[in-house]
Amino acid sequence: MTPKKILRRPQPNNVAAWGQDLPPLLHRLYAARGVTSDEQLSYTLRHLASPFELRGIDRAVELLAQAITQKQKVLVLGDFDADGATSTAVAMLGLSMLGLQSIDFRVPSRFADGYGLTPGIIERLQQENELPDLLITVDNGISAVEGVKAARDLGIKVVVTDHHLAGEVLPDAEAIVNPNQPGCAFLSKNAAGVGVMFYVLTALRKKLREAGQLPQPEPNLGNLLDLVALGTVADVVPLDHNNRIFVEQGLRRIRRGEARPGILALLEVAGRDHGNISSTDLGFVVGPRLNAAGRLDDMSVGIACLLADSPDEARRLARELDTFNRERRTIEKDMKAQAQDLLASMSLDLEGLPWGLALFDQDWHQGVIGILAARIREQTNRPTIAFAPDENGVDVKGSARSIPGLHIRDVLAVVDARYPGVMKKFGGHAMAAGMSLAHSDFETFTEAFDLAVRDTLTAADLEAAITTDGPLSSDELSLDTAALLKRAGPWGQHFPEPLFDGEFRVVSQRIVGENHLKLVLQPVDGNGIIDGIAFNTGPEVPDYTRTGARVVYKPDANTFRGRTNLQLMVDYLEPLS
């Protein structure tokens, strides 16, 4: 394992003012994550921010209400990731529930169309005689200046719903609903695209109810919260209080078996019990299988799975998505090996690498470069962009992943200002972004990106570190603690799952499978024997039985042959001496 500094999350001093009924461990963990009141741990829907704080929502609702009453033809334009897929499904299902009769969706091809609403998509709709009266974008559109213009030139009304950061020029849509657009006072700037679309539906329901136009019995939009939870977690947006409400409410539906058949089927093919899932399962089990369709083929398959009403049809599509995911893993493994060879050719010493990494290979797959960038970022602790060739043979497409302390889209904006026109387009978030440029400009971009990163970070920012919640006492190292922590979520981005560290004697160790290290541990300051597992360590590891180990871990329950025991999921370990 790459050596890391182990940091401990600081503890604030206001812990006595709230949470009197909480177990002391949870009290400590919540306080370290910025919780300052009991209300921040209440996940009832009445604590959600009001949709009417969203700029543009009144006009969007007005247009959608007209589409319902005038029986207009509506097209939902989605995106090819899990947030885009769930946003599309929420729009399709929710608008139908509210009385819209003519609705369909399109998802751009990652390979043929690129991201978002483009003039090419509008041209194709015109050629197919499929132009809608109203087009609503979900999880995209804030940068679609030309695409919106092409639609409006043909008389199509456009409603943009998005959550990505706005550029200097906004599209000339009939309405824009985006908490990150200039002048929007909405409380949660961290809403995912699916959350924004859900808010539009709740506001539309209120308008229809007041006008006496709501279908009866009144539709329960809460039935869509499993999709909202999935998209929110899979898009790795910060789990502020508002987003934790969405995720917790969705998880409760899934655990009760009241989720969409497609979500239940995706959990089933992954071997997960829906009655016992956590937000981690949405992020690392369901999300990747859904994303695999958009990475390798057509996200329409994933959306069809989410929309399926029949459990049998949902299972068929879930198996297809699982196959895509297995193929994605194989491609990713090969690309990572190639990337590591490329890194080795640059420098075997991390100190000799650029601060901002931009990597390209002619054979890399567009659909997997985002995951590849994340893997290399984890290995090097450097902001990383992986590039693959575009279909036209002239351009390259890049997917970026950042590290804490560096807002990747802002850095790309600096590059764009210094070298206008080198990037043909770019956009994204603080931690992830995408861009395209001519292959002939790749070297120029590589140098400009590294320089912009160096202007933003310090050498200390590049030191790999892992932050923990400190040690667990011997009494806390138990199955009860593992169960408590699983129920205490939802955990996620900016509200991280608890991670602990401690010193252990290593009673025994062995490699299982190809790369996994199986451990038997004993706390240095306590008694008892505990199993541990560290995944993907590789076959060459130190002999920790001689030295003992400082272990960074999460307590978990492991059931084998009908018996359930405590097992530590090891994120990192290093010799004690």
Give the CA dihedral 538, 544, 550, 552, nearest 10 degrees. 30
Closest CA to 525 of 503, 544, 546, 510: 503
Q: Which two tokens stand for residue 136?
A: 């609503």
Secondary element (H or E) of residue 393: none
Which DSSP string do the residues of 34-45 spell out, in sequence order? T--SGGGG---G
Closest CA to 202 of 64, 8, 318: 64
Residue 375: which H helix or E strand, with range?
A: helix 369-380
What's the CA gap between 478 and 530, in Å, rounded?
Answer: 9
Domains of the chain, start order: 50-322 (3.90.1640.30), 347-462 (3.10.310.30), 467-575 (2.40.50.460)
Phi, psi for 560 (deg, rounded to 5)? -145, 125
What type of residue sits at position 390?
D
Residue 27 in tokens:
């009290």
CA distance 140 to 99: 24
Residue with tokens 């999460």, as numbered in its chain: 554
Q: Which two tokens stand for residue 20?
A: 């009197």
Residue in 126, 102, 204 with CA at minimum distance from that of residue 159: 204
pTM above 0.85, yes or no: yes
What does the alpha-carbon distance between residue 474 and residue 485 come to, in Å, rounded to a whole number?
16
pLDDT attached to residue 15: 60
Q: Is the peptide bond before 288 cis (omega within 30 degrees of 0)?
A: no
Helix (H, G, I), strand (E, B) or coil at 102: strand
pLDDT tens for each residue of the chain, 577 residues long:
677 889 999 887 766 678 888 999 999 999 999 999 999 999 999 999 999 999 999 999 999 999 999 999 999 999 988 999 999 999 999 999 999 999 999 998 776 777 789 999 999 999 999 999 999 999 999 999 999 999 999 999 999 999 998 888 999 999 999 999 999 999 899 999 999 999 999 999 999 999 999 999 999 999 999 999 999 999 989 999 999 999 999 999 999 999 999 999 999 999 999 999 999 999 999 999 998 888 777 889 999 999 999 999 999 999 999 998 888 888 888 887 887 777 777 654 566 789 999 999 898 888 888 888 988 998 889 999 999 998 777 899 999 999 988 999 999 999 999 999 999 988 877 888 899 999 999 999 999 999 999 999 999 899 889 999 999 998 899 999 999 999 898 999 899 999 999 999 999 999 988 789 999 999 998 778 999 999 988 778 899 999 999 999 999 998 878 888 999 999 999 999 7
In sequence order, the 6+-apart residues with CB closer than 8 A to the CB of 417 are: none
AA letter at 166: A
The whole-angstrom distance between residue 519's C-alpha and the CA centroid of its chain comes to: 31
- Residue 50 structure tokens: 């009001």
In this structure, the chain runs to a length of: 577
Residue type, 60: A
Dist CA 556 CA 6 (whole Å): 21
Helices and strands (H, E) in the chain, number of each type: 18, 17
The Cα angle at residue 93 between residues 88 and 99, in degrees rounded to 5: 125
How many angstroms separate the CA atoms of 264 and 281, rounded?
12
Tell me, what's the pLDDT at 348?
45
- Round to whole Å and give the CA distance between 570 and 555: 9
Task: Please report the sign of the dihedral spanned by the C-alpha atoms of residue 17, residue 23, residue 27, residue 28.
Answer: positive
Q: 311-346 and 287-296 helices cross at what angle (nearest 10)?
A: 70
Q: What gap in Å lies between CA 289 and CA 509, rounded to an integer?
A: 32
Q: Give the pair of three-digit tokens for residue 185.
A: 């006072």
If phi over 0 gives left and psi between -120 and 50 gives alpha, with beta otherwise, what is residue 178? Answer: beta
Report the relative pairing of strands 500-512 and 549-560 from DSSP bridges: antiparallel
Phi, psi torsion values for 534, nearest 5 degrees: -115, 120
Residue whose structure tokens are 């992830």: 432
pLDDT computed for residue 514 by the predictor: 75
CA distance 158 to 119: 13
Is 290 in contact with 85 (CB distance < 8 Å)?
yes
C-alpha Rg value of the chain to the nearest Å: 24
| Pairing status of strand 530-534 against strand 563-575 | parallel
User: Which of 118, 125, 74, 121 minimizes the C-alpha distance to 96?
Assistant: 74
Identify the bridge partners of residue 398 per DSSP, sorted by sequence position: 387, 435
